[in-house]
Structure 1
Amino acid sequence: MENIALAEPAANLSIWALFMQANWVVKLVMIGLLGASVWTWAIIFDKVVSYGRMRSALNRFEQIFWSGQSLEELYRTLSDRKTTGMGSIFVAAMREWKKSFEKGAKSPHGLQMRIDKAMDLALTREMERLEGNLGFLATIGSAAPFIGLFGTVIGIMTSFQAIAGSKSTSLAVVAPGIAEALLATAIGLLAAIPAVIAYNKLSSDAGKLAGRMEGFADEFSAILSRQIDEKVARS
């Protein structure tokens, strides 16, 4: 007697089909993770461009600052412009310098402290701008896999319910539910992996830029300290 196998219709396992067949909770998880992934890449692109511009700005300012141009002339050139990086630190220090002497500052120590404070505030603002949105990358890098796993758990639970309802454990019944559940984990990893790599790289770049600005602030503080001592000695 010839055995005739009853062929079951092949399940559509394309990504779009898996998404459309998924439970509404799993769909929300996938959409949220895809949105997070798009926003992650937008932040990465923005930071790469802005960090490149910052490096160029730091290089240009250092070249001008150490070219021998007078501090007063450089301050007049930059005071009316929108400055970033070392330029903003320089302008903040010179502005405090000029205000203090215009008001007849008599305490060299107090003047030095105010200048250092002004540079510290300017440096803090620059660092906040550099590090903006990096926290989002860290959050996505750590949370996205677990969010995807949550979608996977919901998807597998739904798949088991479908198996129980159909009373069949054939691959055609099991495969679509398992595949759509695992798709949520895959999308979670798709969002998390670039976020983690980018966060580590961009944090390192931000630290290097901050180190350059801090070094300039220390050098400029020493220059102004010598000039304050010279003014006090002449008076």
Structure 2
Amino acid sequence: MTLFEILAVAAPVAEAPSRLDPVKLFLDASIVVQLVMIGLILASIWTWTIIVSFSIKMAGVARGNAGFEKEFWEADEPERLIGNRGRPDNPSARVAAAGLTELRRSAKNGVRDRDGTRQRLALAMEGQVAVEADTLANRLNFLATTGSVAPFVGLFGTVWGIMESFFQIGVQQNSSLAVVAPGISEALFATAIGLFAAIPAVIAYNRFSHRVNGFEAKLQRFADRVHAQISRELERG
């Protein structure tokens, strides 16, 4: 037995990894696939930031609206309630302020056309309701975009990684799994990250859109009640 054969027998056999190592897959990937992964990871982080912040914001808005509406209907003079608060600090207050501001403008020189005044009041408050809903839903566009685009960005990284694997087959003149498997694993990891970013974004977007629609409907019902109250006062006048 030669010396080289003895050393080969004595050398410890390297243990094959028993599970996937995401960090190693990232480090071994090509620069293009790494950039795709980094972009998807950043999108995922921003998605979860929006999810947490939006949940907190919606809870705060709901509490603020409930408190204001209770005070509004219990107050003898709602106009003074809004005036004492200065700038309205929640959507319900801003909707009521829009209606009362339009009422003051219409009654500045005396109310001559009650029906026209009622229509202007309704339009003013409906417009403010739409503004409040749009303001809340503004950041949800990123969730929709991430949910739609992230899988395709991950797929781009996958396609690029598989192209690299086929390139290595041509360079090494070897089509064994030992040559192509690492590159394909790294490529598929990009798709996995894309799905990891997209799935929470889609679920959160659908859930939050439903909550915004419910919030808008509730705000519209409050506006209708304010409009009915002002209409009764116009009839008395």
Q: 2:36·2:153 contact (CA, 8 Å) conserved in 1?
A: yes
Q: Is the 8 A contact 2:75 2:81 kept in 1?
A: no
Task: Tell me, in whole angstroms, the C-alpha distance in 2 between the residues paired with 1:57 and 1:13.
Answer: 48
Superposed CA offset, 1:71-113 (max 9, x none): 23323223x1342211100011111112221232311112112
Work out whether residues 8 and 172 of structure 1, in 8 Å CA contact, stay in contact via their aligned partners in 2. no
- Equivalent-residue separation in structure 1 for 2:120 and 2:164 (angstroms): 65
Name which of structure 1's ranges 102-111 and 165-174 shifts more when overlaid on structure 2: 165-174
Preserved contact between residue 102 and residue 124 of structure 2 (Cα < 8 Å):
yes
Specify the code of the residue in structure 1 equivalent to 2:100: M
The residue aligned with 1:83 is 89
More contact order relative to length (CA 8 Å, sep ≥ 6): 1
TM-score between the two structures when normalised by the length of structure 2: 0.88
CA contact (8 A) 1:84 1:126 kept: no
Check the 8 A contact 2:51/2:204 in 1, yes or no: yes
Matched, 1:51 2:58: yes
Name the residue aligned to 1:14.
21
1:68 offset after TM fit, Å?
4.3
**1:102 is paired with a residue of what secondary structure?**
coil
Post-superposition offset of 1:165:
1.4
Give the residue type in structure 1 aligned to 2:199.
I
Q: 2:169 aligns with which of 155, 163, 172?
A: 163
- Rounded Cα–Cα distance in structure 1 between residues aligned with 2:40 and 2:88: 37
Call closer, same or farther: CA 1:173–1:13 in 2, change over 3 Å.
farther
Query: In structure 1, what is the equivalent of residue 4 of structure 2?
Result: none
Contact kept? 1:100, 1:111, Cα under 8 Å = yes
What is the rounded CA distance, in whole Å, between the counterparts of 1:211 and 1:113 in structure 2? Answer: 19
Equivalent residue, structure 2, for 1:98: 104
Contact 1:13 1:179 in 2 (8 A): no
State the shift of 1:46 in Å.
Answer: 1.5
**Matched ranges for 1:19-30 at <5 A:** 19-30=26-37
Query: Which stretch shifts more, 66-75 or 182-191?
Result: 66-75
Given that 2:130 and 2:216 are in contact with CA atoms closer than 8 Å, whether structure 1 keeps it comes out as no
Aligned to 1:199: 205
Query: Residue type of the partner of 2:196?
Result: L
Q: Distance in 1 between matches of 2:113 and 2:39?
A: 58
Q: CA contact under 8 A between 1:75 and 1:94: conserved in structure 2?
A: no
| Aligned residue identity for 2:71 | I
Matching of residue 172 in structure 1 with residue 178 in structure 2: yes
**Percentage of matched positions with identical amino acids:** 42
Alpha carbon RMSD of aligned pairs, Å? 2.4
Q: Distance in 2 between matches of 1:186 and 1:54?
A: 36
Rounded Cα–Cα distance in structure 1 between residues aligned with 2:228 and 2:129: 16
Unaligned runs of 5+ in 1: none
Counterparts of residues 119-138 of structure 1 (less than 5 Å): 119-138=125-144
SS at match of 2:107: helix
Q: What is aligned with 1:227?
A: 233
8 Å Cα contact 1:152/1:181 also seen in 2:
yes
Number of residue pairs aligned between Structure 1 and Structure 2 = 228
Q: Structure 1 residues 73, 82: CA separation in 2 closer, same or farther (over 3 Å shift)?
A: closer
Q: CA deviation at 1:10?
A: 5.3
- Equivalent AA in structure 2 for residue 219 of structure 1: R
CA distance in 1, matches of 2:154, 2:98: 47
* Deviation at residue 16 of structure 1 after TM alignment: 2.4
